[in-house]
Amino acid sequence: MRIGIVNDLRAACEALRRVVDSLPDHAVAWTAADGVEAIAMAKRDRPDLILMDLLMPHMDGAQATRQIMASAPCAILVVTATVSGNISLVYDAMGYGALDAVDTPMLGPGGEVTGAGALVEKIGTIAKLVGATADPRRARGRVPSSTPPRLVVVGASTGGPKAISDLIFPLPHEWNVAVVVVQHVDVAFAPGLAKWLGDRTGHSVRVVEHGQEPLAGDVLLAGTNDHLVMTKSRTLEYRQEPRDVFFRPSVDVFFESVAEHWPKAGTAVVLTGMGRDGAKGLMKLRSRGWHTIAQDEATSVVFSMPKAAIDAGAACEVLRIDQMPRVISARMGV
């Protein structure tokens, strides 16, 4: 995998270069000192993956991510000195299409690199993801009830945070519907993503607790690196199986469990994302009478996941993100 490095600090660039050089079948394609240079380099020589810093002169990493995904889309991993200290910019970048974020490894006085384990793991995961698709564009209150509420389930990956925000913001706050979202995101960022979504949408967005039952008015987000599943008792649980599915949490695993165990047909949505996760699960839900929606190409940061669902015949409708809230509300009887 060819990897571009974007960082204005020489020591950070060298640490990242050494990490990449240590990995079999990976090589540094180029380095850029700021967002402006990164955009130009990506257009001239599009790599498989860009390691994107956030705080740089001339243009920050979030804006560079936005422009790269518009003009030369490829996998982008935010690598910044402190993820927790730059969390707002991290979620801005993820909203524009970055896949994940990790702290920058340190270059020691003797030339050794420390703190590279998380970066190596994420590069390995993205390498599998990139291999799954050659073209990344294609590639507050509750309403208590004695009966289960209607259910809206959403799956997303690359570019998902902003799409989820745009989807949730116009939805009613008080209705007999629960919304459960599976977004490909590391466990470390799930609570922050829930808060970010809540702040942007005005809805109370919470991370799913193991054993929780979706109730009317809930907006719930999968919150661990294990798969989220619906059980036959209509509770949400985290499970490690199936271990061979490297998308974690998997949209397919969640959707298929909902198809098996939720008693009422609802609405299921596959949003922007890289890979094919969600297509099989969406098809199973459609076969059980659910109304299924895939995001259109024009409003997707990466079209691979919706396209896979569309190509499989799993989507009843293909809609722009701004059309979805009205359609979902109508389908849910609002």
Q: Which residues are catalytic?
A: 157, 184, 277
CA distances 296 to 72, 285, 299, 301, 314, Å, are 19, 19, 6, 10, 14
CA distance 49 to 154: 26
Residue 220 host element (H or E): strand 219-221
User: What is the Cα–Cα distance from 64 to 53, expressed in whole angstroms?
Assistant: 10
CA distances from 151 to 55, 88, 100, 215, 329 (A): 40, 30, 28, 9, 11
Sheet holding 100-103, edge to edge: 27-32, 2-6, 49-52, 75-80, 100-103
Single-letter amino acid, residue 98 = A
Do residues 31 and 56 make contact, with C-beta atoms less than 8 angstroms apart?
no
The rounded Cα 117 to chain-centroid distance in angstroms is 21
Burial (CB < 10 A; 0-12, 13-18, 19+), residue 220, is buried
State how far the Cα of 164 lies from the Cα of 27, in Å rounded to an integer. 34
